[in-house]
Amino acid sequence: MLVKDAGEKMGLKLLAGKTGTDRELTGVYICDLLSWVMAHGNKGDAWITVQTHSNIIAVAALLELSCIIVPEEVEVEEDTLQKAEDEGVAVYQSSISAYGIAKELYKMGIE
């Protein structure tokens, strides 16, 4: 499934990185420890995290994650969004919890 289709279906708010929304979303990874994500995240994963500083964009770009989703209306810093634009990493905001987002993605066939 494409990132943009998943985002639309779930009613996620795209904060930045529209050029990244054409990526293929193939999995989900939930973690707020960056080197843990570095060790276990896979290419194509949607990364759900409450971390919002600009380094998350570096992590997502290096691992070729499909997008970042912040849960529960967490606010994302302006310089993070700027970097997301520059690197073409889609950053979405959701009103529901990390578990809720994962459940939605599962229902859409991301297993």
Partner 1 sequence: MEDIKYVFEVEKDDFVRAGETSSKIKKTLRELGIDSSIIRKISIATYEAEMNIVIHSLGGQIVLEITPGTIKITASDRGPGIADVELAMKEGYSTASDRVREMGFGAGMGLPNMKKCSDRFCVTSSEGKGTYIVIEVDLKAGE
Ligand X SMILES: Nc1ncnc2c1ncn2[C@@H]1O[C@H](COP(=O)(O)OP(=O)(O)OP(=O)(O)O)[C@@H](O)[C@H]1O
> Per rule CB under 8 A, is residue 57 in the interface with partner 1?
yes
Please check whether residue 43 is in contact with residue 69, taking contact to mean a CB–CB distance below 8 angstroms: no
The candidate with the shortest Cα–Cα distance to 70, out of 100, 89, 88, 95, is 95
CB of 33 to ligand X, least distance (A): 7
Judged by CB under 6 A, the residue of 23, 35, 49, 86 near ligand X is 35
> Per rule CB under 6 A, is residue 39 in the interface with ligand X?
no
Question: Please, which residues bridge with residue 48 across strands?
Answer: 30, 69
> Per rule CB under 6 A, is residue 109 in the interface with ligand X?
no
State both tokens at 54: 């600009």
Other beta carbons within 10 Å of 35: 9
Per CB under 6 A, residues contacting ligand X are 34-35
Query: Which residues of this chain interact with partner 1, rule CB under 8 A?
Result: 32-36, 38-39, 43, 49, 51, 53-59, 61-63, 79, 87
